[in-house]
Each structure stands twice: as C-alpha cells, then as structure tokens.
Chain A
Amino acid sequence: NAGVTQTPKFRILKIGQSMTLQCTQDMNHNYMYWYRQDPGMGLKLIYYSVGAGITDKGEVPNGYNVSRSTTEDFPLRLELAAPSQTSVYFCASVTRQRPGNTIYFGEGSWLTVV
C-alpha cells in the first residue's frame, strides 16, 4: 500500500514549457485534490475531483488543467509555465466512506519556473 504517490519530486521548467505532475493513489479513494503552496503561505486549492470523470475548479485554477479518467490517477497539467507557478504542489486523497476523515497527502512536488 503506497498511499499517494506524486512524481516528479523536483522539476525545473523554462517559461512557456508545459508539463504534467502525476498523482496516483492505490486506496480506491473517490476524492482527490491538487494544492499549491507558495513559501510561507497556506495551501491553495487548484482543482479537485469527487470521482472518475468529475472535476471541479478550486481557488486558483488559472494556468492548470486536470483530468480524472480513472479512480487512481489525477494528473495536473501546467500549460505555458510562468514564474508565478513556481511553488510546491501537493496531491491529496480522501475516501468517500464514513467516517471519511483521514486525508492522505503526497510528499509534494517542487516546481521552479525560470
């Protein structure tokens, strides 16, 4: 049981490049989330999903896209990277079943856009 796995852990992108952050969970969780965390700040919700085929915008979705074709995977796509997207990205998942109060986090992906 690996929990939530994020890849890559570190990445440097040039302005204008695109990339995908991968997130996989092996716990059959319905709910998955993507956050970004800027230095000294809290976690801002980018996108979330309540199940395969269903996604919704969070607080800061601009510049990102997601898909949820399977229960396990929730990739985050960055199109035309900008320096403002330099941040640490976290993926998280939660089960739908009660009590549903355990949040599993990935270890984070450090992204720098230069």
Chain B
Amino acid sequence: AQTVTQSQPEMSVQEAETVTLSCTYDTSESDYYLFWYKQPPSRQMILVIRQEAYKQQNATENRFSVNFQKAAKSFSLKISDSQLGDAAMYFCAYRSGETSGSRLTFGEGTQLTVNP
C-alpha cells in the first residue's frame, strides 16, 4: 500500500515570510494524483493545491506552489508571503489512479503556526 510521510509535525513562520512543508510518498504506480489540504480548527478540509503525476510542470495557486520531484517521490508545498490566516494543519495526500483502485492516503500532517 502507498504511504505518505510528512516529516515535520510542526512548523512556524513569520508573517510575510516563506515556508516550505515537506512530503514524501512511496509508490510503484505511474498514474496518481497528489494534493495538499489545509485543515483549520473547524476540521473543514480545504484544497490548497493538486498535481497530476503525468504533468512535469509544478502546480501553483497564488501564494502556494509545489516542488514535485517524481523520481525522488517528493511533493513539498511552498507558502510565500505567509499570512495569519494560513495557520492550520496541512495534510499531504496521495490518490492512486483509476487503474490502481483509486485508494486515497493521507500523511500525518504538519501544524503550521504563523507568527505576527
């Protein structure tokens, strides 16, 4: 089964600065999707960014971007110009492609604190 590892249980950043959250995954599949989700205290799951494995170009969404290293099985999230509202738990997720059962696996999360 695929595994997703987030090696940083907690991270902190100063407001307006940049922070990078790490994620690695283990798979033998070639068709898959990767996601970063934000979870505030309300427990709502909010999509931050997603990446299809077949796309070499790194995904970006405003202040959020990823560094997708397929060979290294790494999928880090960079948050630029950090804002107080970015403080939350962040989860990395892996979804198998349709031909591999579409199992959806999450990492253990990184708690991000933004200091004013």
Contacts and interface: CB of A to CB of B under 8 A. Distances in A.
Contacts of A101: 33, 35, 50, 52, 95
Interface string B27-61: 00000010100000001110100101000000000
Contacts of A88: 43
Interface in A57-100: 58-59, 88, 90, 92, 94, 96, 99-100
B33 A42 contact: no
Contacts of A37: 43
Contact of A108 (B6, B35, B43, B109): B43
A45 B105 contact: yes
Contact of B95 (A43, A96, A103, A105): A103
Interface residues of A, number: 28
For A56, A92, A100, A103, which residue has the most chain B Cβ atoms within 10 angstroms?
A103
Given A99-B52, A101-B33, A42 B106 contact: yes
B107 A105 contact: no
Provide the main secondary structure of the chain A interface.
strand
Interface string B81-110: 000000000010101001001111111110
B102 to A, nearest CB: 5
A43 B91 contact: yes
B109 A100 contact: no
B88 to A, nearest CB: 13
Contacts of B45: 90, 92, 103, 105
B52 A43 contact: no
A42 B91 contact: yes
A14 B45 CA distance: 28
Interface of A: 31, 33, 35, 37, 40-45, 48, 50, 56, 58-59, 88, 90, 92, 94, 96, 99-103, 105, 107-108
Interface of B: 1, 6, 33, 35, 43-45, 47, 50, 52, 91, 93, 95, 98, 101-109, 111
Q: Which 9 A-B pairs have the closest CB atoms?
A: A42-B108, A105-B45, A43-B106, A101-B33, A42-B106, A31-B102, A42-B109, A108-B43, A101-B50
